[in-house]
Amino acid sequence: MIEIRRLGPQIGAEINGVDVKSLDDATFAAIYRAWLDYNVVAVRGQDLGIADFLAYSRRFGRIDPHPSKSTRHPNFPEVTLLGVNKFGPDGKLDMAVYRRGAEGWHTDGSYDREPFKATQLYALAIPSRGGDTLFASTYAACDALPDRLRRRLECLRGAYVYGGRKKRTELLDPEDRSKDPVFHPLLRTHPETGRTALYFDPNKILRIEGLDPAESDALIEELTGYMIQSDAEYRHKWRKGDIVIWDNRCSYHRAAGDYPPEEDRIHWRVSIKEERAEARF
Ligand SMILES: O=C(O)CCC(=O)C(=O)O
Ligand SMILES: [Fe+2]
């Protein structure tokens, strides 16, 4: 029997009592509903092969291979490997692999014309300490904006590229490192819940369209201050066999990036986009 338990005050839910390899449509619909309601969902205790992980992930939408080609699974390009090849040929810790996702709060795929709907991770190896993933609600960030700021954001868009202003593009192949920016409104209505969220990523934003550079920098700094609302966070402590999916349309996340580097922390990861046409089920 499926059991859904709320974890954080606004976001985060845990699901027990299911095997995602053999879910009927009604049980999947309950997981999907919980995900829309709680934005981050952890399904515990799964034992999956890579084809199982892909088949389950496709129930949420279309899987898109990540632009970081060097971290793709060699046989399954839609799957990104996290925590694999952490040490270079010289034996040195590769910080871009070890600290992937730990450089700050972010939403995945804002550099893409069609940003990621969801990101899903499956935990294959978990260190003895550290290595949590932190989440925060961007609905709450939007609700916290003062009226004057919210009204100002209504007609503004951000320009985004992979690597942002700091040009953190180490994980990309050299020929993929300079792409044109894409534009997204700073306030976005979630297409499935109808709620408005702050859509903003300080690591990938270049500037705010139509503002002079000083104004744009000042607004980026001001918005950064609203991202994390303390009653709207959830911190996931991983167990091997967890599948965690988060909704990039209404949450931020970051890796803690603090586990003992000599230990393994390995996940399969997929980026999921909106379905093009057909219904999901
Ligand atoms: O490894 C993690 O905890 C999350 C990394 C991350 O930001 C991502 O996979 O998008
Ligand atoms: Fe991320």
How far, in Å, from the CA of 83 to the mean position of ligand 2? 13
How far, in Å, from the CA of 213 to the mean position of ligand 1? 30
Nearest CA to ligand 1 atom 9: 101
149 torsion bin: left (phi>0), alpha (psi -120 to 50), beta (else)? alpha
76 torsion bin: left (phi>0), alpha (psi -120 to 50), beta (else)? beta
Q: Which atom of ligand 1 is nearest to the CA of 265?
A: 1
Q: Cβ < 6 Å from ligand 1: which residues?
A: 82, 100-101, 108, 119, 133, 253, 255, 269
Spatial distance between the Cα atoms of 76 and 72, rounded to a whole number of angstroms: 7
Query: How high is the pLDDT of residue 276?
Result: 66
Coil/strand/helix, residue 21: helix
End-to-end CA distance of the chain: 20
User: To test the ligand 1 pocket, which listed residue (100, 106, 247) has its Cβ within 8 A of the most ligand atoms?
Assistant: 100
Q: Which atom of ligand 1 is nearest to the CA of 131?
A: 3
Query: How high is the pLDDT of residue 168?
Result: 84
How far, in Å, from the CA of 254 to the mean position of ligand 1? 6
Nearest CA to ligand 1 atom 4: 255
Residue 96 neighbours by CB distance under 10 Å: 17
Query: How high is the pLDDT of residue 257?
Result: 95
Of the ligands numbered here, which is closest to the C-alpha atom of 204? 2
CA nearest neighbour of 207 among 167, 171, 164, 255:
164
Residues of the chain with pLDDT under 50: 277-281
How far, in Å, from the CA of 145 to the mean position of ligand 1? 27
How far, in Å, from the CA of 171 to the mean position of ligand 2? 13
Query: How high is the pLDDT of residue 165?
Result: 83
Nearest CA to ligand 1 atom 6: 101
Spatial distance between the Cα atoms of 241 and 122, rounded to a whole number of angstroms: 7
Coil/strand/helix, residue 57: helix
Residue 89 neighbours by CB distance under 10 Å: 6
Model confidence, pTM: 0.95
Runs of H (alpha helix) within the chain: 25-38, 50-58, 95-98, 138-143, 147-153, 213-224
The residue length of the chain stands at 281
Spatial distance between the Cα atoms of 81 and 78, rounded to a whole number of angstroms: 10
How distant is the alpha carbon of residue 277 from its chain centre? 23
Q: Express the helix, strand and coil content of the chain in percent, nearest 5 each.
A: 25, 25, 50
